[in-house]
Chain A
Amino acid sequence: MLDRQRLATPEIRRRSGLRERPPRPRLLPRLALVLAGFLLAGAAGAGAYFLPVLTTTVSAVGTGQIGSVAGIAAGGDQPFTVLLLGSDDDAKFPADAVLTQSMIVVRVNPATKQVTMLSIPRDLWVTIPGRKGKAKIDTAYQLGGARLAIETVETNFHIKIDDYVWVGLKGLIHLIDRMGGVDVNITNPVMDDFYPSDIDVKNPYGYYRLAILPGAVHLDGAHALQYVRSRHGDLRGDFARSERQQQVLLALKGESKQVSLSDLPDLASAFNGELKTSIGLDRVRGMMAVAGRLGTSGIQQVVLLPPYTNPQMVGDQDVVIPNWPLILPLVHQSFP
């Protein structure tokens, strides 16, 4: 029987009613198919897990406007510069037309483990690209979003911004709460009788009293926001506030050592639309690795106090006049 089958031509087989045995499939392509299936399923699982992160980074300024940081993605040692923007995104302002109360430029050099944080006074009187005359730098974001804020910093300070992160008030609260709070040393009492009561309230123009007492404390998100936002009772007003913002940022950097890549979806969902960034998930991974390698000894903090700036009245506005001949050489020491 076997011999008959083997010797018969297809025509003979058909006529004699012999059934044709299907060709034996090759094992390798089938294995590859199964493997690809498993890979796809794994990718889908990971994609589902990181979905909140992906949807957060979707709100980025289009690539091409901002330089890409390929070195970070590869876990390399290429220096990069990030503009951190913080806004009072309460009911006083239309959504996406808010002022930036905080602007901090951070330069990280992974090779030398050097970090420089430059706080830009929100009332700095500067040229806004595409606009006539001068205006406070905090209006740039209101007029043209992150793109104009970046362009304004780049134009005035003659530096290159690679990426940006924008965070709203509640975003910061939720981030710090999700990280379990933050430990800081309060250097002096922060007293404010007119702290804005504008989060989750009907009247965003209300205020309340604040007393943050000196000493080492563990702050939750709401209290940490109060600490970095208050400015009325301080001798140096916005400058002291800038220093407190840098202090909490550094404390958060310390706390972030306990955060892994797997925590990112939790953190991203905590923002609930209160975070916008140009940094994709691939680069977040690289940045976390870089942050983990950085110590506190290589961190330089720059606040543009007088004589780098000079508070003045222009018309009916309190503004801060930049002393560019002093500022630019200082900035270019750390921001090429």
Chain B
Amino acid sequence: MRRIAATALLLALMAGFGAGVYRLLDSHRSRTLPQAESAPAAPGLGPVLPGTFYLAQGGSIYQFQKGKFKKLTPAEGWTQPAASPDGTRLVAVKRGFNSSDLYLLGTDGRVMAQLTHNLSTVVEYNHWAFFPRFSPDGNSIFYSYDAKDPGNSYRVDMAVYAMPVGSLKPVARPWTNPNQYTGGDVSPTPLRAGGLVYSKFAADADGKVFSQVWIQARAGSPGLGLTRAEDNCGQPAVSPAQTMLVVVCHPAKDVSIVETASLDPAGYSAGPLQPLVTAPLVASPAFSPDGLSVAYFAPAAPGRPFQLWTAALAPAAAGGKLPAPRVVGPALGWDSGSAPVWV
């Protein structure tokens, strides 16, 4: 009897050992880190920074002010907000399945007007509208739009257009002439002097597409590059005083650099690029309201969600070193293609 009991006990122990091996292996499984989808609406999630941020995440626009996040819009494809010069309105993209449209919003997220009407029941008759920016006088909106090529339905290149705000029947006017089959011209920033800074995509002799920051004086004028082709720079933002430029450059594979340069809008020129942040992936830089810092998105580690960072442009004391960039808030998985608005 004792022998039977001992055997049964041993068998039970063996079965337990087998199950233990299974559990041990299971415990070593890495938990894939999901991108944060929960609303960062809980108060006190971030440090107190001067000014107000507008950020996009998971199809919603959030306001970040005095260390608190506030959800302004439901998760309905909202992205790429931009603030009016007086800070009282926002223009943002609402992205659908085959099209996207621009909307005028209050700073509380309330929809004031739909500015474009790009939806069609025929798939290829839809249009995209992205990267909206107010003109310095607040009367126009510059954005990227895909006009159709009647000669080739496969060609979809975005050009920068400008449309008046407040007009009953606004007519959008093309500003730029994109290079064919490159994706076109994106990220426009209109200048007080009347010109326009934007990202232009072009192809080299081998057909490899690269990006250049471009400046153009008027609608339809030829324009010229502010950065060199080999630096492969894009995503420009202009400082509030319009004397500085911040861009993201990819001079080599797996290298992204947030770089700054002096800007002379009247002379259509920029100074040499100065590296600010180097990392495998950085995106969508924007200046602080005082022009002394830059906000941008980057993952804290490879494969992690994109977080909001700020980097000072000058040391705290004369002759000192630049302080290291600091992360703002927890890993919330911000929409890295939607530049932070800092007003």
Contact = CB atoms under 8 A, between A and B. Distances in A.
A327 interface: no
B124 A193 contact: yes
Contact of A214 (B186, B203, B281, B282): B186
B337 A213 contact: yes
B150 interface: no
Interface string A42-74: 101110111000000000000000000000000
Contacts of A44: 18
Interface string B267-305: 000000000000011111000000000000111001101
Given A208-B123, A215-B284, A217-B337, A235 B302 contact: no
Nearest to A243: B208
A178 interface: yes
B98 A45 contact: no
A183 interface: yes
Interface stretch (B26-34, B161-169, B220-228, B238-246): B26-34
B256 interface: yes
Contact of A209 (B20, B29, B124, B337): B124
- Interface size band for A: 35 or more
Contacts of B100: 211
B256 A185 contact: yes
Interface in A206-224: 207-209, 211, 213-218, 220
B32 A46 contact: no
Interface stretch (B103-111, B176-184, B309-317): B176-184
Contacts of A216: 248, 256, 281-283, 297-298, 306, 336
A260 B28 contact: yes
A129 interface: no
B259 interface: no
Nearest to A257: B302
A209 B248 CA distance: 27
A218 B18 contact: no
Given A193-B153, A217-B336, A183 B183 contact: no
Interface stretch (A33-41, A117-125, A161-169): A33-41
Given A214-B211, A215-B283, A233-B156, A262 B25 contact: yes
- Chain A interface helix/strand/loop/mixed: mixed
B33 to A, nearest CB: 5
Interface residues of B, number: 75
Contacts of B21: 41-42, 45-46, 49
B60 interface: no
Contacts, number: 184
A266 interface: yes
A41 B181 contact: no
A260 B333 CA distance: 24
B307 to A, nearest CB: 11
A63 B169 CA distance: 70
A46 B26 CA distance: 10
A49 B337 contact: no
A190 interface: yes
Interface string B74-104: 0000000000000000000000011110000
B171 interface: no
Given A189-B201, A233-B156, A218 B305 contact: yes
Contact of A180 (B15, B32, B157, B232): B32
B265 to A, nearest CB: 24
A14 interface: no
Interface in B122-143: 123-124, 126, 128, 130
13 contacts: A188-B183, A190-B183, A191-B156, A209-B99, A209-B124, A215-B234, A215-B336, A233-B181, A235-B180, A240-B209, A260-B28, A260-B30, A296-B254
Given A193-B153, A214-B199, 12 more contacts: A42-B17, A50-B25, A187-B232, A188-B201, A194-B124, A209-B97, A211-B146, A216-B306, A220-B35, A232-B154, A255-B303, A258-B30
